Structure 1
Amino acid sequence: MRKIYRVGQIVPSSNTTMETEIPAMFRAREGIRPERFTFHSSRMRMKKVTKDELAAMNLEGRRCAAELADARVDIMSTACLVAIMSMGPGYHRESEMELAEVARQNECFAPVMTSAGALVEGLKKMEAKRISLMAPYMRPLTDLVVDYIENEGIEVIDSVCFEIPDNLEVGRRDPMQLLSDVKRLNTEGADVVVASACVQMPSLPAIQRIEDLLGIRTVSTAVCTVRGMLDRLELEPVVPGAGALLAGG
């Protein structure tokens, strides 16, 4: 009998991408590996990507962790990068410990991670020293993301932000537009390009295309989240067409 893993995500109420791209990557993997996956979410209210709304949303994370614990998921992750990074340097570690404590109190012993931590972790797995990134946020929030990553010891050469405050509009953005957007990004000397530093901005169809176009390893926060999930489930980190981080080996 094939092993079935339950994937749990704590998702902003206006996020429409993580419940699309994460399953898409796992379904692609199912085409080449025997494991199977189901997907389960709990939602936190958030409509506008502002610091105040993000802080308020973070307060709902404990409730969401408890709800996912009731489903006895095998892996649990938050699905909002900027909500974590806007709370200050290294906050993903504090958030992961807090949410894991809630899960344990509710008799769920699954690994707990954050998409913010997954991006940092993914870049370190690739031994990235210098990166360039694209994000949909307003410039002040983008700068917080840049500062957060640099606090983890990774230099951000350049960042392009699209300044879209409405989270639903971010989710409606055509991912293939990134192929044009990346031409505005300074990638000279970059080890890795982050095509989407936001889990709501769609990018999956463009990841491999950008990597092939630039000849530079390319990821997104969603790609890094899948890598973190597979590593914690002790499964081979391979997903076809999702870039170097999920190429296996």
Structure 2
Amino acid sequence: MTRTYKIGQIVPSSNLTMEREIPAMLRVREKFYPETFSFHSSRMRMKHVTPEELKSMDSDSDRCALELSDADVDVMGYACLVAIMAQGNGYHRESQKRLHEVTLANGYPTPIVSSAGALIDCLKLMDAKRISLITPYMKPLTKLVCDYIEYEGIEVHDAISLEIPNNLEVAAQDPFNLVDIYKRLDLTGIDVLVLSACVQMPSLAAIQIVEDECGIPVISAAVATTHQILTNLGLEAKVPGCGKLLS
């Protein structure tokens, strides 16, 4: 009998992309592997990507973890990279531990993946020492993300900030625009290109195109999150057509 794994996602109320891109990747995987997946979300209020709203939103994540654990999901993904990174260096470890304890206390101990932690862990797995990245954030938040990554021992060589403050506008971006935008980055000597360091900015359709074009491994926060979800389920972290990390 084929097992269906229940994927829980803790998402900002205005986030649309993670409930599109993660299911899209896992639906592709279902064509090649026996496992199937169902998807379940709980939302935290957030409309504008500002430090104030991010802090307020993050405080709601415990409630979301509790709600999702009521459904006895097999893994939970905290689907907002910058909300974690805005709380201080290394915060993904504290957040993941706290949310796991919430599920444990509710009688349904659940592995927790955060997009922030997934990006860091996957960059380390790829032995990335130097990267370039694209974000939709205002420049101060992009700097915060770069500082967070560099605190983990990974140099951010170059970054582009698209400066889109409204979270719905971020979700409305055409991922194929990234095929041109990335060419404005300095890719000299980098090990990995992060095409979207934001789980709300769509990039999945462009990942393989850009990787094939530039010859450098290309990932996104969503791709990294999918990798860590599969890893925590004890499954092969493979999805065809989504770049080297999932190949």
Alignment of 1:113 with 2:113, yes or no, is yes
Residue deviations 1:76-101 (CA, integer Å, cap 9, x gap): 11000000001110000000011011
Residue deviations 1:175-200 (CA, integer Å, cap 9, x gap): 00000000101111010000000000
User: Which residue in 2 is equivalent to 1:194?
Assistant: 194
Alignment of 1:137 with 2:149, yes or no, is no
Alignment of 1:170 with 2:170, yes or no, is yes
* In structure 2, C-alpha distance between the alignment counterparts of 1:111 and 1:81, rounded to whole Å: 17
Residue deviations 1:42-68 (CA, integer Å, cap 9, x gap): 000000000000000001000000000
Residue deviations 1:112-160 (CA, integer Å, cap 9, x gap): 1211000000101100000000000000000000000000000000000
Return the letter of the residue paired with 2:58: N
Sequence identity of aligned pairs in percent? 59
* In structure 1, C-alpha distance between the alignment counterparts of 2:36 and 2:148, rounded to whole Å: 34
Q: With the length of structure 1 as denominator, give the TM-score of the two structures.
A: 0.99
* In structure 2, C-alpha distance between the alignment counterparts of 1:71 and 1:148, rounded to whole Å: 33
Alignment of 1:12 with 2:4, yes or no, is no
Gaps of 5+ in 2: none
User: Which residue in 2 is equivalent to 1:218?
Assistant: 218
User: Which residue in 2 is equivalent to 1:147?
Assistant: 147
* In structure 2, C-alpha distance between the alignment counterparts of 1:26 and 1:107, rounded to whole Å: 27
The answer to which of 105-114 and 74-83 deviates more is: 105-114
* In structure 1, C-alpha distance between the alignment counterparts of 2:242 and 2:125, rounded to whole Å: 16
User: Which residue in 2 is equivalent to 1:238?
Assistant: 238
SS in 2 for 1:224: helix
User: Which residue in 1 is equivalent to 2:124?
Assistant: 124
In the TM superposition, residue 108 of structure 1 has moved relative to its aligned partner by 1.3
Q: With the length of structure 2 as denominator, give the TM-score of the two structures.
A: 0.99
User: Which residue in 1 is equivalent to 2:54?
Assistant: 54
* In structure 1, C-alpha distance between the alignment counterparts of 2:141 and 2:17, rounded to whole Å: 20
Residue deviations 1:220-243 (CA, integer Å, cap 9, x gap): 000000000111111011101100
Contact 2:101 2:109 in 1 (8 A): no
Number of positions where the alignment pairs a residue of Structure 1 with one of Structure 2:
247
Return the letter of the residue paired with 2:103: A
SS in 2 for 1:194: strand
* In structure 1, C-alpha distance between the alignment counterparts of 2:141 and 2:86, rounded to whole Å: 7
Return the letter of the residue paired with 1:222: A
In the TM superposition, residue 110 of structure 1 has moved relative to its aligned partner by 1.8
